[in-house]
């Protein structure tokens, strides 16, 4: 990641950000439905926190992760992923309306054992690449979430019609829904994300 800049104009309702990488540019919009994450991301962009950082975690058909401040000065053998800005952000799950479809941006976080509230990292984020799913696979995911959390009437554990269509037609990472805060999506440059994820 070479630089990030806010693209918001005073008459726009959506906040947009340009991420410049050595592979090309990525333009994303931040969701108004997740104001804590949106405002924090913009604050870090304006403070140039992301300038010069790496996408330090790359998993094909899953995601690319960036935002670790330690990656700015990291050598080739440096273990990354533990860097932070000294605070977390309360989760803002908006499932089933907002979900981990292909091209969304979400906040990374510590695991459930040390973070049962599922608070987000103050700086680390990932962009979803994922893969396509079948209806049967999505049914099994729903069943496993309901079995794990025990509430068959809670729509949080069921995929909306739109989410199902997206997971079948464009893909994503549905197993992360309700566990990580999705706070935006890529408007332009998914080919850059795909290239980085290879």
**Which CATH number goes with the domain that contains 23?**
2.40.100.10
Q: Give the residue numbers spanning the domain of 103.
A: 3-197
Q: Does the model's pTM come out above 0.85?
A: yes
The pLDDT of residue 153: 62
* pLDDT tens digits, one per residue of 107-126: 999 999 999 999 999 999 99
Angstrom CA distances, 184 to 17, 30, 138, 147, stand at 10, 4, 23, 29
The pLDDT of residue 2: 47
- For the chain, the maximum distance between any two Cα atoms, rounded to a whole number of angstroms, is 50
Residues contacting 50, CB < 8 A, separation 6+: 1, 3, 4, 19, 44, 66, 67, 123
The pLDDT of residue 41: 97
The pLDDT of residue 152: 59
Q: Is 127 within 8 Å of 62 (Cβ atoms)? A: no
* pLDDT tens digits, one per residue of 67-86: 999 998 888 888 898 889 99
Residues (pLDDT < 50) of the chain are 2-3, 9-11
- How many distinct structural domains can be found in the chain? 1
């Amino acid at each position: 990641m070479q630089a990030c800049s806010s693209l918001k104009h005073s008459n726009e309702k959506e906040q947009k950000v340009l991420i410049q990488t050595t592979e090309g540019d990525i333009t994303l919009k931040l969701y108004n439905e997740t104001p804590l994450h949106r405002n924090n991301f913009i604050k870090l962009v304006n403070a140039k926190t992301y300038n010069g950082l790496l996408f330090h975690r790359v998993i094909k058909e899953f995601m690319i992760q960036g935002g670790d401040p330690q990656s700015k000065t990291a050598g080739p053998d440096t273990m990354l992923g533990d860097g932070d800005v000294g605070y977390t952000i309360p989760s803002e799950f908006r499932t089933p309306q907002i979900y981990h479809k292909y091209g969304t941006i979400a906040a990374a976080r510590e695991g459930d054992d040390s973070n049962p509230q599922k608070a987000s990292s103050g700086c680390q984020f990932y962009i979803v690449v994922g893969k396509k799913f079948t209806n049967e696979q999505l049914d099994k995911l729903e069943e496993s979430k309901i079995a794990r959390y025990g509430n068959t009437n809670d729509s949080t554990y069921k995929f909306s019609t739109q989410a199902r269509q997206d997971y079948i037609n464009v893909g994503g990472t549905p197993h992360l829904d309700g566990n990580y805060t999705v706070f935006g999506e890529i408007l332009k440059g998914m080919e850059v994300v795909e290239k980085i994820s290879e």
